[in-house]
Copies of this chain bind each other. A is one copy, B any other.
Amino acid sequence: MNEFDYIRWLRERTPAHARVVAGPGDDCAVLKPSSAPLLVKTDMLLEDTHFILKTAGPRRVGRKALAVNLSDIAAMGGRPVAAVVSVGLPRAIPDVNSGVQSLAEELYCGIREIADEFDTAIVGGDTNTWNGGLVVAIALLGDAGPQGPILRSGAMPGDWLFVTGPLGGSVLGKHLDFTPRVREAIELQNLVRIHAMLDISDGLAADVNHICEESRCGAVLIAERIPIAEAASKIHDNRSTLEHALGDGEDFELAFAVAPQDGRKLLDQQPIPGLTLFWIGECRAEAGLFLDENGRRRPLPPTGYVHSFA
């Protein structure tokens, strides 16, 4: 299968989509314009850095490559529309698979499955082989949702902070298999005004700190309120489960800030079927990130997962 065969194969598997005028096969894809602000995101997954190909398998890698981008659209409160996919395929495949062709097909099927689940068109791509490891870079476009783009910068002192699920230990599986909170973010907007939101990729402490920095406020998290995933207790190292919840990252749950009266409503009613919303603390006028634990307050370093490169 060469590049042109692959494009043909993709085109046959590309269902019609209301927004797509021209999909893969021309110099560019063409989308119908929309009156909503356009959301744009890209994420790149690199072998042995973001996944182990042999253990994850190419289908889950493909799924994750799109899911991380969908999670960012969710974090803005938006609706995904269309994606383009760039792939670097390793020339030599060590016993993962019967060859490059099935690696490419499995990868694409993983992307396709979650794309279909979220009504996202795959409108183009660039497929290459090289002597390096597997690389997948996806760029995803979306429309802003009912409240417009929800930035990190809108939190206000007194706002209540929530997360949409338990945190920590995602490396044991959730980082590959999570379901991006696209639908939940839309439902939330029908219930309350969301002041600020993001998805937890760097780790709760680091990500709440991002909200604080962009919103020029501080925050206090309540240790006893932070929901801890079962997986966090299955990692046996020198860190507590709370530390895992605060620092692991790649949870891909949403963290968001709402006015206290809206927070009270969410907490009392738990109005989204199948989803528990966890109140974890609140924003303050004073700068700085703090943790209340057993009634004592201490500074919380924003040390989530930092992709250091120097």
Contact = CB atoms under 8 A, between A and B. Distances in A.
A30 B149 contact: yes
A41 interface: yes
B33 A34 contact: yes
Interface stretch (A71-79, A112-120, A232-240, A284-292): A71-79
**Copies in the assembly, this chain:** 2
Q: Which of A22, A27, A85 has the most CB of B within 10 A?
A: A27
Nearest to A30: B149
A141 B40 contact: yes
Interface stretch (A123-131, A161-169, A223-231): A123-131
A99 to B, nearest CB: 7
A125 B132 CA distance: 21
A42 B72 CA distance: 19
Contact of A31 (B40, B151, B153): B40
Interface in A12-70: 21-22, 25-44, 46-50
A189 interface: no
Contacts of A307: 2-3, 127-129
A179 interface: no
Q: Which of A25, A29, A34, A41 has the most CB of B within 10 A?
A: A41
